[in-house]
Amino acid sequence: MKSEASKLASYEIDALVNEHCECGENPLWDERRNLIFWEDIPNGLIYSLDPKTGKHQTIYDGDAVGGFTFQEDGKLLLFRDHDIAILNEDGTTEVLTRDIEPATGRFNDVMADPEGRVFAGTMGKDGAPSGGLFRVDLDGSVTKLWGGTSCSNGMGFTPDLQKMYWTDSAAQKIFLFDYDRATGELSNRTEFYSTLDGSTPDGMSVDAAGDVWSAHWDGFAIHRLSPDGALKESLKFPVGQVSSLIFGGENLDEIYVTTAGGTFRKGEENVSQSTPDGTLYRVRVGVKGQPRFRSRIQI
């Protein structure tokens, strides 16, 4: 693999909102309303932004949310510490499932599939390898697919929907699986990418041509990888903890990028305004992405 320095990309990077997120994560584009949603995990906050007007607001303030999807009806399906809940339009929540697995920690990145199921990763408790990947089927039943990691992370589908990527941040690797759309089964695990620069692959998205865009925690970058796992280019950021990204915009040719390391703590009044850590960014890459699927979990 060529050195990262020889593949640096030059794009205009816009800082959109700085909520000083302790751990900004899970950016999700709402193509129906042209809004971007994201969260600050440890502070239990979810935000929305209209990029055209610049108006942003807090739409959820509660228990920590590791990830969320849009349901087909537009409501948010929240994957929290040890439960799955619906966020209603009036701000109330309705718990669907509790106590997924006592040995595991909170949920982390989640992703709906074409049939409306949800793949949901978890963290290990206190750094232990007790996290893993779960599948939530349409009837709300939860199946553990595997364990053995302390940090399950970003996922994505190949454009033909024949394969699925899954990031094991603890191993600093991205894996590729055969994906059966009819059953939701994953098989034939192979290693797709292993980081070489000491940073940690985090959230990810796949574009319409099949390139993988991987946010790198402690790497100040997003790496663009070809379908064979080769590094095509790196997008550099002024923030070290680049946590996740999603394609958005009216033509799905922009990426919205979350970062972490901000100084905000719920209940504290004094927040430093001098650091870009925890900012939501936008990069106009001119590459078309794929829309994310919506969940259809029975309520």
pLDDT at 273: 66
pLDDT of 6 reads: 41
Give the bridge partners for 143, in sequence order: 135
* Structural domain includes residue 235: yes
Predicted confidence at residue 271, as pLDDT, reads: 63
The answer to the question of residue 75 being in a domain is yes
SS (H, E, C) 270-281: CCCCCCCCCEEE
What's the pLDDT score for residue 2? 37
pLDDT of residue 3: 37
**Would you state the pLDDT for residue 270?**
61
240, 11 in Cβ contact below 8 A? Answer: no
Q: Which CATH number do you get for residue 74?
A: 2.120.10.30
Range of the domain at 61: 8-284
Residue 95: how many CB atoms within 10 A of its CB?
A: 11
Q: Examine residue 81 and state whether it is found in any structural domain, yes or no.
A: yes
Structure tokens at 62: 């509660």
Distance CA(210)–CA(196), nearest Å, equals: 21
CA separation (Å) from 264 to 11, 41, 88, 215, 269?
A: 28, 12, 26, 22, 9
Residue 298 lies in a domain: no
Give pLDDT, residue 268: 75
* Backbone torsions φ then ψ of 61, nearest 5 degrees: -145, 100
Classify residue 2: in a domain, yes or no. no
Q: Which residue in 202, 207, 228, 277 is the catalytic one?
A: 202
pLDDT at 269: 67
30 belongs to the catalytic site: no
pLDDT for 197? 86
User: How many helices (DSSP H) and strands (DSSP E) are in the chain?
Assistant: 0, 25
Low-confidence ranges of the chain (pLDDT < 70): 1-6, 269-273
pLDDT 10s digits, 165-204: 999 999 999 999 999 999 999 999 999 999 988 899 999 9
Given this model, what pLDDT does residue 219 score? 96
In a domain, 203, yes or no: yes
Distance of CA 44 to the CA centre of its chain: 16
Residue 292 lies in a domain: no
Report how many domains make up the chain.
1
C-alpha distance across the termini of the chain, in Å: 47
* The residue type at 220: F
